[in-house]
Each structure stands twice: as C-alpha cells, then as structure tokens.
C-alpha cells in the first residue's frame, strides 16, 4: 500500500463569527482522488480562551485533524495487513509552525502508540485565524478545576468527587466532545439534574462542548467509513488542555477513568499490541506530556483513579454520605455501554441504555454490585439469565466478549501473564509495572467474586470458579 499522503486545506469563513472549515484530500493507489470536509464547532470552548493563535490552539487544530483523518481512512482498504496504516499529513496549518515542527517527532511517538499506525506530520505556517463569535466570555478566575466529562460512569464519579472539594465559590469546568449525539444526551440528563434549585452542585460547574468530526455529505469518492475511534482521546485531551492553558499553567486536566480500562490488558492473544485500545494508557499519557511540554504547554494530565478499578471508584465515593446521595441521584443517567445501539437481541429494549454483555457493561455491573445497586432489570441482557444470550454458542458473536473474559479469568489471570502483557503493551517502568499488575489482579478478583455469587454453573466453570 505504501504511504498515503493527506493534504489539509483551510477554507476561511466569510463571516467573522463563524470559524472556517478544513478539507482533507488524498489520492489512492489507483489514482482516485478522495476528499471530505470536517466540522469543528469551537464556539463553546472559545469562551474560556478567546483566541485562536496560541500554541494550545495549534495543538487543538492538530488533534482535530488527526481525529478526522483517523475516521476518514478505512483500515481494511488502506493498509497492507488490514490494520496498520502509513499516513503522512504534509501540510497541517499552525500559527506557531516552528514550535510544532520541532516537536513533530514526539507527536509521532504518541499518536503511533495511540492508534497503532505509522504517522508523519509536517506543519505549515498559517496567518492568525479571523474569528470572533458573539458569545459571552467566561472569567478564568472563577474556575479551580478542569475535568473531562463524557457522560459515562467514570467521568460522573470524577465530577462528583472533584466538585465536592472545590474551594468557596470556585467552579469546575467540564469539557465534552459531542459527535454521535447519544453522549450529548447522557451529559444533558446528568447536568440538568445538577442545575435545579437546591441541588448541592448547582452553580458549581460549567460545561463546554466541542463538536468535531467529518461531514459525510461532503465526501467526494467516499472510500467507506472507519469503524474505530482510536484517536478520540487525543482530541478530548486537546480540548481540555486548551481550557487549562488559559486558566493557569499549574491547572491539570483531570482525566477520570478507572485504571483497569486504562491499561486494558488483552484478554486473549488476538487483542495484543495495537489491537488493544490505548485511549488513556499510561504510556500514551507519558508520550503526549513529553510532546506538549516541548511546545510549551506545562499543564499535566492527571488521572486520580489510575490505580483503582471502577468498583473501587464507586465504593470510595459511597463512603462519603454527601457524595453518595449525589451519585445515587445521577448514576442511572450515565451510560457506560459500548454497544447500546444494537438492541435487536436484547431481552429488555425499553427504558434501558446498557446491553449488559460488552466488557464496559460487565465492569459497570461489578461496580454497582459492590454498593448493592446491581439491577438486571436496568440492562438489555443479563448474562446469567437471558432468552437470547448463550455463552456456550461460539457462533454467537455477541457473547464473544464475555467468553474472552471468562477464558482470561480461568487461564491467564496470574502475575506472570499480566506482567508480560503489560510489558508487550508498552509499560516499561518497573515500579509502574508492579503497581498495574496488582491493580489488575485486584480488579479481576472483584469480577470473580461477582461471578462466584451470581453466576450460573456453566459461567462459573468457564471462569475456573
């Protein structure tokens, strides 16, 4: 296949109150030209920064473009092995192009690890963007913390925990990315409840949302969609760091995600290396911090839950009476499911947003179980009691995640195997490796305990229990 060269063309808006648009274009091996426009609604985030010529904005634009290209270039069509693509973006616009080019190698190391591809980046100078929307600016002095907020249970717990410890009249800034629409509804349900008179968190937060992605209707010779979202966390981080950059260089970006998901140990050998998602993997975090530090962004990426399971997060928040009451009123509005749109074979379809059989749903059930809230009536499929879910039917693709988990628990859940998998997946620091092995063993012990108490005889046997 060789290297695919992608061009980026910025098209300014004729209206100063609207940001321009980027067009991506590339020519495939058959000399067929492809192009597509991207959407980038920056107006909400502009309220905290009020500018488009800083290095933080250059990093944001870079992240938007990487995310859009990741979504536009189909792996199966544009790779030799059905996975790894060779992608060269040769004209990324940057106001501070010299600094961005000097750090290009560091960005390559970070993004290669994140997506499992081979990238190269070259930045070209662009004059400062002309953009000045008619929106009310925020006072940066009002904000003590900045946290990512997706609408999932982890980000909800992060919000509950962090807002509880705000000083005086200070607020927390919640940063969200909205593209598919479903996550936006999750976020709205949660924050609407927190905005009503008398709620403990009323007036303690502001949400800023950015919409970014492709405009499917603008495709010329659409090569077919790419189904993965490997680079989404890069975009998410860039949005949050833009906000942190304008508040204070000492303001960290809070990345609330349980450590089990962050290290994402492959449950079987087929999910090793680049096939295992790395959205908040510690190695990606370290490499990205090296890159952004090189361009002068001193804000750190901080995950307070990096050595905790989702169940730990839930349990520890419930140990505080006030936070427990807040979370009790909100947790059902969060969504952790990776497959909530595929309801055909669910036992329950109405009023539920969780399939119950993907790994995020399993981890969520274990987390709810530890505080007595595991309720099968709130999920589409109860893997322990279902009309449609058959764990022993290997032709049933929908049960493959659970089978992989059970296989791992029975055959691979030991210190040596986990340590080896973590090393293969990029964890090289000896002390960090030991910490993450202990976390993994602890996390999977919690899952075993849940299965031991609630599982069927067949599922217990498959898990080695």
Whether 21 is covered by a domain: the verdict is: no
Residue 388, exposed/middle/buried by CB under 10 A (0-12, 13-18, 19+)?
Answer: middle
C-alpha to C-alpha distance for 362 and 354, rounded to whole angstroms? 10
Only one residue has tokens 């964890």, namely 427
Whether 436 is covered by a domain: the verdict is: yes
Percentage with pLDDT > 70 across the chain:
97
pLDDT attached to residue 273: 43
How sure is the predictor about 394, in pLDDT bands with cuts at 50, 70 and 90? confident
pLDDT attached to residue 271: 54
Q: Give tens-digit pLDDT for 109-154.
A: 999 999 999 999 999 999 999 999 989 999 999 999 999 999 999 9
Rg (the chain; Cα; Å): 22
Q: What is the DSSP string of 378-432?
A: GSS--TTS-SS--TT-TT-GGGHHHHHHHHHHHHT-SHHHHHHHHHHTT---HHH
3-state helix, strand, coil in the chain (%, to 5): 45, 15, 40
pLDDT, mean of residues 324-341: 91
Q: What average pLDDT is seen over the chain?
A: 93
Whether 349 is covered by a domain: the verdict is: yes
What does residue 288 show for φ and ψ, rounded to 5 degrees? -70, -40
Residues in the chain: 465
pLDDT attached to residue 180: 61
Q: Is the pLDDT of residue 341 over 80?
A: no
Q: Is the pLDDT of residue 91 over 90?
A: yes
Model confidence pTM above 0.75: yes
Q: Is the pLDDT of residue 61 over 50?
A: yes
pLDDT, mean of residues 362-386: 95
Weakest mean pLDDT among 194-203, 392-401, 437-446: 392-401
pLDDT attached to residue 203: 95
Whether 217 is covered by a domain: the verdict is: no
- Number of C-beta neighbours around residue 135 at 10 A: 12
Whether 357 is covered by a domain: the verdict is: yes
pLDDT, mean of residues 381-397: 85
Whether 189 is covered by a domain: the verdict is: no
Q: Give tens-digit pLDDT for 174-226.
A: 999 886 667 788 999 999 999 999 999 999 999 999 999 999 999 999 998 88
pLDDT attached to residue 454: 96
C-alpha to C-alpha distance for 421 and 407, rounded to whole angstroms? 15
pLDDT attached to residue 181: 62
For the chain, how many structural domains are there in total?
A: 1
How sure is the predictor about 350, in pLDDT bands with cuts at 50, 70 and 90? confident
Whether 43 is covered by a domain: the verdict is: no
Per DSSP (E only), the strands in 261-309 are: 301-302
Nearest Cα to 1, choosing from 37, 23, 27?
27
Which domain covers residue 363, as residue numbers?
337-462
How sure is the predictor about 276, in pLDDT bands with cuts at 50, 70 and 90? low
């Amino acid at each position: 296949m060789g290297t695919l060269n992608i061009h980026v063309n910025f098209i300014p808006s004729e209206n100063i109150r609207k940001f321009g648009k980027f067009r991506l274009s590339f020519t495939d091996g058959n000399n067929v030209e492809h192009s597509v426009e991207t959407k980038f609604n920056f107006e909400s985030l502009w309220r905290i920064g009020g500018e488009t010529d800083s290095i933080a904005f250059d990093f944001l634009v870079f992240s938007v473009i990487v995310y859009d290209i990741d979504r536009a270039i189909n792996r199966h069509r544009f790779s030799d092995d059905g996975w790894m693509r060779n992608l060269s973006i040769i004209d990324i616009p940057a106001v501070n192009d010299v600094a961005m080019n000097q750090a290009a190698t560091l960005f390559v190391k970070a993004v290669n690890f994140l997506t499992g591809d081979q990238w190269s980046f070259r930045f070209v100078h662009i004059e400062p963007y002309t953009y000045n929307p008619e929106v009310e600016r925020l006072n940066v002095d009002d904000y003590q913390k900045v946290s990512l907020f997706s609408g999932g249970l982890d980000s909800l717990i992060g919000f509950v925990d962090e807002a509880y410890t705000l000083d005086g009249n200070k607020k927390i800034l919640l940063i969200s990315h909205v593209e598919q629409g479903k996550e936006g509804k999750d976020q709205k349900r949660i924050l609407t409840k927190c905005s009503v008179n008398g709620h403990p968190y009323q007036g303690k937060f502001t949400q800023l949302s950015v919409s970014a992605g492709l405009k499917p209707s603008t495709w010329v010779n659409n090569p077919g969609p790419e189904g993965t979202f490997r680079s989404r966390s890069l975009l998410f981080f860039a949005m949050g760091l833009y906000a942190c950059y304008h508040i204070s260089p000492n303001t960290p970006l809070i990345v609330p995600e349980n450590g089990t998901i962050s290290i994402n140990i492959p449950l079987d050998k087929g999910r090793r290396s680049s096939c295992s998602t790395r959205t908040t993997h510690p190695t990606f975090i370290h490499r990205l911090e090296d890159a952004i530090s090189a361009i002068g962004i001193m804000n750190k990426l901080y995950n307070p839950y990096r050595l905790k399971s989702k169940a730990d997060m839930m349990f520890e928040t419930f140990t505080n009476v006030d936070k427990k009451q807040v979370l009790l009123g909100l947790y059902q509005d969060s969504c952790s499911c990776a497959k909530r749109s595929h309801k055909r074979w669910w036992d329950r379809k109405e009023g539920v947003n969780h399939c119950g059989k993907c790994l995020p749903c399993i981890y969520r059930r274990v987390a709810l179980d530890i505080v007595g809230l595991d309720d099968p009536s709130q999920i589409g499929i109860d893997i322990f009691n279902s009309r449609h879910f058959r764990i022993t039917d290997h032709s049933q693709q929908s049960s493959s995640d659970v089978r992989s988990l059970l296989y791992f628990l029975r055959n691979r859940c030991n210190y040596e195997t986990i340590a080896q998998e973590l090393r293969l997946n990029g964890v090289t620091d000896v002390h960090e490796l030991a910490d993450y092995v202990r976390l993994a063993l602890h996390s999977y012990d919690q899952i075993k305990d849940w299965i031991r108490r609630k599982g069927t005889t067949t599922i217990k046997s498959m898990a080695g229990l």
